[in-house]
Amino acid sequence: MKIKETAKVLNQSKLAEGIFSLTIATTASEYAIPGQFINIFSKDASNLLPRPISICEIDKAAGTLRMVYRVVGKGTTEFSSLKAGDTAEIMGPLGNGFPLEGEKAIVVGGGIGVPPMLELAKQLPGSVTAVMGYRNDDLFLSEEFTDVASDLIIATDDGSVGVHGTVVDAMVENELEADVIYACGPKPMLRAVAQYAAEHNIKCYVSMEERMACGVGACLGCVCQSKDVDDHSHVHNKRVCKDGPVFLSTEVVL
């Protein structure tokens, strides 16, 4: 079930330079699962297309969704000025979300790929090792993982906190093992995590990103390459918005 509605902004706060946390009241929360995303629309009619933002936290009781996003352009700049009481046009939840599997899971987030891992870590049935990669010591959200993950490992590009290097450097250094890995972040990171998973024979889910228009699987704008001929497309393409954003690392070309 997907909702298109005018949601109410309950709260917005700045987590770090250019990183904002937005909580909205929306009936979309009733249907949301971790790894799904919502489309947020700009109020400026010259910005036609929705901005896809992953769901960071779901509170079904309160009927709310939380999103954490980086300001990078026109839409996110506009969203960053939303205040409690304002409204936001949204559509969601969209995409397939993460399957909740394994007794021992590693959740890997890189940069703005960190947020969707929070709700995932909360809902996973087994133990969770969270590996979070950041540019520097602006470790937004990382504290919140201490409550929901059994272990929290931090890697930073500049070495200011935790492992000096990538999330995969941190995984290697800590010789991490698990039944399943979940990853969200930039493509090179996903590629490296998938390789780590393959080498260690661990099942691995990755959350992909692509430019979108419809968000519901109709326009074929947001495809990623699939290893096999895909059931829907009958070519080597999968729709990130509908068939994903979460894929098995072995299904897609990274």
Partner 1 sequence: MKTSVNIAGVEFQNPVMEASGTFGSGMEYSEFVDLNKLGAVVTKGVANVPWPGNPTPRITEVRSGMLNAIGLQNPGVEVFCERDLKFLEQYKNTKVIVNVCGHSAEEYIEVVERLANESRVDMLEINISCPNVKEGGIAFGQAPKAVEEITRLVKSHAKQPIVMKLSPNVTDIKVMAKAAEAGGADAISLINTLTGMKIDVERQNFVLANKTGGMSGPAVHPIAVRMVYECANSVSIPIIGMGGITTWEDAIEMMLAGATAVSVGTANFFNPTATMDILSGIEDYMVRKKIEDINSIVGIVK
Ligand X SMILES: Cc1cc2nc3c(=O)[nH]c(=O)nc-3n(C[C@H](O)[C@H](O)[C@H](O)COP(=O)(O)OP(=O)(O)OC[C@H]3O[C@@H](n4cnc5c(N)ncnc54)[C@H](O)[C@@H]3O)c2cc1C
Ligand Y SMILES: Cc1cc2nc3c(=O)[nH]c(=O)nc-3n(C[C@H](O)[C@H](O)[C@H](O)COP(=O)(O)O)c2cc1C
Where along the sequence are the contacts to ligand Y (CB under 6 A)? Answer: 213, 219, 221
Q: Please name the residue ranges forming H helices in the chain.
A: 74-79, 116-123, 142-148, 167-173, 187-199
Burial of 145 (0-12, 13-18, 19+ CB in 10 A): buried
Name which of residues 205 to 224 contact partner 1 (CB under 8 A): 210-224
Calculate the alpha carbon distances from 202 to 62, 99, 134, 182, 207 in Å.
Answer: 36, 15, 24, 10, 16
d(CA 39, CA 44): 15
The yes or no reply on residue 49 touching ligand FES (CB under 6 A) is: no
The yes or no reply on residue 215 touching ligand FES (CB under 6 A) is: yes
Of positions 4, 13, 30, 43, contacts a copy of itself by CB under 8 A: 43
The tokens describing 45, both together, are: 């009619």
Identity at 162, one-letter amino acid code: G
Burial of 245 (0-12, 13-18, 19+ CB in 10 A): buried
The site partner of 70 among ligand X, ligand Y, a copy of itself, none (C-beta below 5 to 8 Å per kind) is ligand X
Of positions 62, 72, 84, 218, contacts ligand X by CB under 6 A: 72
Least distance from C-beta 253 to partner 1, angstroms?
11
Q: Which is nearer to ligand X, 51 or 178 (CB)?
A: 51
Identity at 26, one-letter amino acid code: T
Of positions 214, 224, 246, 254, contacts ligand FES by CB under 6 A: 214
Least distance from C-beta 210 to ligand FES, angstroms?
7
Least distance from C-beta 36 to ligand FES, angstroms?
14
Residue ranges in contact with a copy of itself by CB under 8 A: 43-47
Residue ranges in contact with partner 1 by CB under 8 A: 1-2, 4, 41, 45-50, 91, 210-224, 232-237, 242
